[in-house]
Amino acid sequence: MIRMNKIYIFSLTVLAAAMTTLSLDTTYDHTLTDDEYRMSVGNGYIFFEVLEPEQLSFTYKTNPASFSPPWNETMTRVPLIPTDPPCGCGFIRNHDDVEGKIAFMERGDCSFVSKVVRAEQAGAIGAIITDQDQENDEMYISMVDDTTERSVGIPAVFLLGKNGHMMKRTLEMLGIPSAIINIPVNISAVQIHKLNQPPWLVLFSS
């Protein structure tokens, strides 16, 4: 009996040590530490939210361009307008629609700098460039300078192709010309489980 008690006590000791090592917690707390939060959202990312249409009303994560000014000023209820042509590499034919709004463009056919320059020439106050790969739901492209030494005066960000495809397809299906967004939005005080994330991907994929 004494031997069995010793074995039982020893087993409990090992189990307690294992639980301590693994930092097991019986409580369920969604609040992240500062380090966990930074790892979840990534440093330097810009977030925006779609207000209209309702089908796209989620919070989106984007990667800012290295060559454009920062998105320091919050733009509220501003239209996001797909450009014509979608790549934005040539003359933007719907410049009247783009003027005073945010240009929604696709990656490809020319440099990121060229796209943002074209958007600025069309009167856009910002640019969101999405990947042409409709299945890209995790890889954030770094939009870097093309060494042409052209200056850019409006902020620009990169959006995942999956998000961009869903947004454009939804606008086309609804027959509406634009989405209404707020950019940037501060999510630092929002718990992860309370974010209104797009259902078609994990928002904080790395």
* Mean pLDDT within 83-106: 96
Domains located in the chain, CATH noted: 34-194 (3.50.30.30)
pLDDT at 44: 83
Give the Cα separation of 135 and 27 in Å (integer): 37
pLDDT at 200: 86
The residues facing 126 across adjacent strands are 102
By the 8 A CB rule, do 64 and 46 touch? yes
Q: Is residue 46 exposed (0-12), middle (13-18) or buried (19+ Cβ within 10 Å)?
A: buried
Round to the nearest angstrom and report the end-to-end CA distance of the chain: 55
pLDDT at 191: 64
pLDDT at 16: 40
- Range of lowest pLDDT (131-135, 169-173, 199-203): 199-203
* Mean pLDDT within 114-123: 96
pLDDT at 6: 43
pLDDT in tens, 18-75: 433 333 333 333 333 444 444 444 558 999 999 999 999 999 999 999 999 998 889 9
By the 8 A CB rule, do 57 and 199 touch? no
pLDDT at 202: 56
pLDDT in tens, 141-196: 888 888 888 999 999 999 999 999 999 999 999 999 999 999 999 887 776 666 78
Give the Cα separation of 178 and 170 in Å (integer): 10
38 compared with 116, residue with greater pLDDT = 116
By the 8 A CB rule, do 110 and 89 touch? yes
CA 128 to chain centre: 10
26 compared with 76, residue with greater pLDDT = 76
DSSP letters along the chain, please?
Answer: -HHHHHHHHHHHHHHHHHHHHTT--SS---PPPHHHHHHHH-TT-EEEEEEESGGG-SEEEEEE-SSS----S-EEEEEEEE-SSTT--S--TTHHHHTTSEEEEES-SS-HHHHHHHHHHTT-SEEEEE-S-TT-SS--------SS-----S-EEEE-HHHHHHHHHHHHHHT-S-EEEEES---TTS-GGGS---TTS-TT--
pLDDT at 72: 86
pLDDT at 128: 98
